[in-house]
Amino acid sequence: MNRLEQEYYANINGITKALDRIANALESNNKVNEGPFATASDSKIYYKTRRDMYMDNPCTKEEYEAASRENIPGFEGTLDALDDLCNVKKENEELDTQHDYLHGLVQDLDNEAYFEFCNTHCLPASDTVAVSNYITDLDYDEVLGIIKELEEEYPFGGSDDQAYEDEQDRLYTEDIKAQDDKLNGKDGVTYDDDYDLRVTAKMYIAELEAGDFRTKKECILDYVTNEFGSQGARYTDIIKFAYYLNHANGSKFDSTRDRGYYSLGMSGRNPYLVHGGKDHLVKGINKDGDERYFALSFVESATDYWKYINK
């Protein structure tokens, strides 16, 4: 950018104000006489552009050029010269836009494409500053040429798009298959959402047989404390575990078929789970305000609000 262009850009606000003053003066001088004594000379003349108006009015043109010289020190040119400066500014803005676009294309290249780009243009791939400066120094035709080459060679942004899509399809297919296996079983066995509960019950059975627990009641109380903690267990959680403690390999728990029998330990004639011995189930209010079951030996660690269960 030469000195005249720099001075023009530095004083662009002054030029704008000068043009506005000239336009306002012209508008005041060209008011139409709309009274009964109006003549043909009073008719208003319309111009397609401001420049046409200046060219058709020598006085206005001189004022405009004088204002231009006043606001751009050292500028002694004509309207055409000023228009040329405006065009240069527009071209520079367009060039900056294309530079930014090319920067984006290069940044989106994968490693292989990026190294190929640097090799083609004799650039050090490890020096991103040098690559950026190279792009910024390209003229308009050069930057457009490189953009065209990259867009034709890498229509999907420089990555192996087809390979990426194939990998995503593969992962999606495997995910669907895994879900099918989970629902239907790899060997056609129906999926059991109580599988983890069965495993836990088998663990307690093994510990009971090993002598770590004396009774199944102790297993149930330990399960409620360790599995649910301060949240407490629901009624259904307890009777389901009691069921699998007796039928770890049996059919899936059926609330209609199995709920009644295994609820006897909590509400039957001999509700051994809520009465008797040093430890049994009590009811308490957890931190969410819900009523849940806790082991007596643990309830005071979870809540201050609890009660014994009446027969």
Share of the chain above pLDDT 70, in %: 61
Tokens encoding 139 = 């003229």
Higher pLDDT, 194 or 160: 194
pTM of the predicted structure, to 2 decimals = 0.41
The Cα–Cα gap between 256 and 59 comes to 103
What totals of helices (H) and strands (E) does the chain contain, helices first? 15, 3
Q: Is the pLDDT of residue 60 over 70?
A: no
Min mean pLDDT across 162-176, 211-225, 270-284 is at: 162-176
User: Long-range contacts: 32-35, Cβ < 8 Å, 24+?
Assistant: none
Q: Average the pLDDT over each of 75-84, 111-120, 144-153, 258-267 and give the range with the smallest value.
A: 75-84
Does residue 30 have a pLDDT over 60? no
Asked whether residue 188 carries a pLDDT value surpassing 80, the answer given is no
Among the ranges 14-28, 123-137, 228-242, which has the highest mean pLDDT value?
A: 228-242
Query: Sorting pLDDT into bands at 50, 70 and 90, what band is 85?
Result: low
Q: What is the pLDDT of residues 198-229, one digit of tens each?
A: 999 999 999 999 999 999 999 999 999 999 99
HSE, side-chain direction, 13 A CA sphere, residue 246: 11
**Predicted confidence band at 77 (pLDDT cuts at 50, 70, 90)?**
low
Decide the pairing of beta strands 291-295 and 281-285: antiparallel
Q: What is the pLDDT of residue 205?
A: 94
Query: What confidence score (pLDDT) does residue 209 get?
Result: 93
Q: Where are the extended beta strands (E) located within the chain?
A: 281-285, 291-295, 306-307
Across 116-125, 158-167, 296-305, least confident range: 158-167
Backbone phi, psi, residue 32, to 5°:
-85, 135
| Whole-angstrom distance, CA of residue 233 vs CA of residue 228 | 6
* pLDDT at residue 41 tops 50: no
Average pLDDT, the chain: 76
Q: Which residues, listed in sequence order, are joined to residue 306 by a DSSP beta bridge?
A: 284
> Residue 305: its pLDDT value, please?
93
Report the distance separating Cα 116 and Cα 122, nearest Å: 10
pLDDT tens digits, one per residue of 99-128:
888 888 888 888 888 888 888 888 898 888
Determine phi and psi for 22, rounding to 5 degrees.
-65, -40
Say which range, 13-27, 257-271, 276-290, has the weakest mean pLDDT: 13-27
